[in-house]
Amino acid sequence: METGALRTLRIRHREMELNSWLKKSLALYSANGLNFLLNILIIPIVVHYIGFQGYGFYSVYIILSSTLLFLDSALSKSAVSAIYSAKEEQRAQLVSSFRTAYIIAGISLLLATPMIAEGVSVVFPLRTAQLNLAYWIGAAAAVEYVLALPGQYFQMLNVLRARHFIYAQYQLCIQLSRFFAVAVVAATTQQIEWVLAAVVLRKIPDYLILWLFWRKQEREPLAPMAWSLVTTLYRQAAPIVGVALLLVLATEFISIYVSHVYGAETLGKYRSVYDVLNKIWFIATLYPVLVYPKICQWLADPQRKVWLQGMMPYMNLGSALTYGALTLAGLAIYPVLLMWFPALQDAAPYAAGLLAGICMSGHVRLGYEFLQAQKDAGAALLINLSSLVAGAVTLFIFQGEATREIGWAWFISQLLAVVIVDVRNGILLSSSLRHSVIGLLPWFGVGIGVFLTTLTHSMEGAAVPLLLLAVFMSSFAFLAKRLQDLRQV
């Protein structure tokens, strides 16, 4: 039986561990916040100098870059999972094998660049008067990713060694390099072709930044790599890559639809709104760095796993309330923004559904981290596929509704993903179905707000989202009280 002193010691140990994790999180999110600010600032700069059509082309490049980065995320997650499962004496050999896996991935992608470029020109049939720009965008994105692989490998080592402060500082320097390269070239040339060339060529000075960071780190212990570990890494990464690609496709297929149906200019207008709103993923972007390693660590410890089973429903509910509150706040202020920025009228038919869908996508990413940590990537693949089909069917049914179908496709596809992911994680962690259903209730409140806001964009339409937001704030208070009680257990 646990004595009072042991119980107090255990609680204090948990609090010290939590405080250390919170400090690392604060450092990462501070740097990530600046990165997001730079990504928001670059949108009006690019639109001002190269127009909405030019931004439409630039957005295709962003889509491809984000998609290729998921390959690195998959390799990194496989490495983290393997490290936590391996013995201490095996770790040096694992790191050497990971390095080999990165080199092979880079060479393979470089050889596949012509096929990637051709595929992009088919998926995004966008051209300028001079050339098939979509083809060259595909080639530029692939080459830039290969050039970035040394930096991505360095960041993977930072994650493995829990060097979160170094991770944040390096990421910020790279983002500043990209921001100034795009902003200066867009302002001086006003040509999208030169902007894309600058994004690729700025990787050359980025190597200097990488060297300045890497030279201060301890050398990784040398060990022979093992081909069996390389193949194991790829085997573990394959389903994660599949999940990542379907996750991208489940959100970016709408951009493909817009490019085919409405053209580059409308794509630029849609993406300029989307690229601002998706900064709501500010919290979710660091899940692979902060949350995924922690989940792997918890699942490897039987006591922690039991604790996680009890906490999972509250994590889901907290995430749903947070993203739901962001959605409702956005719906409430949207009529005011329309008065201040008349240009937003073009987004009025789909803005509410787009905002809700992006927030649901941010929430569901936490669920995907849990699924992948439990090696249930197959379920995540099926969920993403179902979400993609639901969105595509919605676009097909409502095609030609003056872009209104964009919002409904976002809302329906992501709501389906949220329901399945939350219920599936509850089953895997042996939580009751009742707890899973309670975690879904905030999204049905959001659905009411989206439906009513879509009907009217007047100031009166903000009343319902504000009322629902008050309910969400009260729910936060209840959740905080419940978590405080659990900490004493």
Residue 87 pLDDT = 66
Residue 3 pLDDT = 55
Q: Which amino acid is at 16?
A: M
Residue 98 has pLDDT above 60, yes or no: yes
Residue 17 has pLDDT above 70, yes or no: no
Residue carrying the six token digits 């009322």: 467
Using CA atoms, how far apart are residues 489 and 354, in angstroms rounded to an integer? 41
| Mean pLDDT across the chain | 77
SS3 of 396-440: the string is HHCCCCCCHHHHHHHHHHHHHHHHHHHHHHHHHCCCCHHHHHHHH
Angle between helices 433-455 and 463-487 (to 10 degrees): 160
- Per the model's pLDDT, the better-predicted residue between 4 and 479 turns out to be 479
The residue extents of the domains of the chain are: 1-240, 301-489
Q: Which amino acid is at 468?
A: L
Residue 198 has pLDDT above 60, yes or no: yes
CA 478 from chain centre, in angstroms, equals: 29
Q: Which amino acid is at 114?
A: P
Residue 284 pLDDT = 60
- Per the model's pLDDT, the better-predicted residue between 313 and 413 turns out to be 413
Using CA atoms, how far apart are residues 115 and 120, in angstroms rounded to an integer? 9
CB atoms within 10 A of CB 185: 21
Using CA atoms, how far apart are residues 276 and 171, in angstroms rounded to an integer? 20
Contact in structure between 342 and 335 (CB atoms under 8 Å): no
> Which of 48, 122, 117, 55 is closest to 264 using CA atoms?
55
Using a 10 angstrom Cβ sphere, with 0-12 exposed, 13-18 middle and 19 or more buried, the burial of residue 103 is: middle
Q: Find the mean pLDDT for residues 346-374.
A: 82
Contact in structure between 206 and 151 (CB atoms under 8 Å): yes
Using CA atoms, how far apart are residues 280 and 319, in angstroms rounded to an integer? 12
Contact in structure between 150 and 207 (CB atoms under 8 Å): yes
Contact in structure between 255 and 332 (CB atoms under 8 Å): no
Q: Find the mean pLDDT for residues 368-388.
A: 78
- Per the model's pLDDT, the better-predicted residue between 163 and 254 turns out to be 254
Residue carrying the six token digits 């660590």: 297
Residue 489 pLDDT = 47
Local confidence band at 103 (pLDDT 50, 70, 90 cut-offs): confident
> Which of 74, 73, 146, 140 is closest to 105 using CA atoms?
146
**58, HSE (Cβ side, Cα atoms, 13 Å):** 33
Q: Find the mean pLDDT for residues 202-219.
A: 81
Q: Which amino acid is at 438?
A: I
Residue 1 pLDDT = 47
Q: Is the pTM of this model over 0.85?
A: no
Sequence-distant (6+) residues with CB within 8 A of 30 are: 168
Q: Find the mean pLDDT for residues 124-148.
A: 80
Using CA atoms, how far apart are residues 246 and 238, in angstroms rounded to an integer? 12
- Per the model's pLDDT, the better-predicted residue between 14 and 313 turns out to be 313
Residue 95 pLDDT = 75
Q: Find the mean pLDDT for residues 24-41.
A: 68
User: What is the rounded end-to-end Cα distance, in angstroms, of the chain?
Assistant: 14
C-alpha torsion sign, points 367, 275, 318, 408: negative
Residue 372 pLDDT = 74
DSSP class of residue 287 equals I
Using CA atoms, how far apart are residues 223 and 255, in angstroms rounded to an integer? 45
Q: Which amino acid is at 345?
A: Q
Q: Find the mean pLDDT for residues 153-182.
A: 79
Q: Find the mean pLDDT for residues 319-337.
A: 84
**Which DSSP helix (H) or strand (E) runs through 126?**
none
Tens of pLDDT, residue by residue over 140-166, are 888 888 888 888 788 777 777 767 677
Question: Which token pair is 105?
Answer: 């991935």
Residue 407 has pLDDT above 70, yes or no: yes
Beta strands in 85-174 (DSSP E): none
* Planar angle of CA 160, 166, 168, nearest 5 degrees: 100
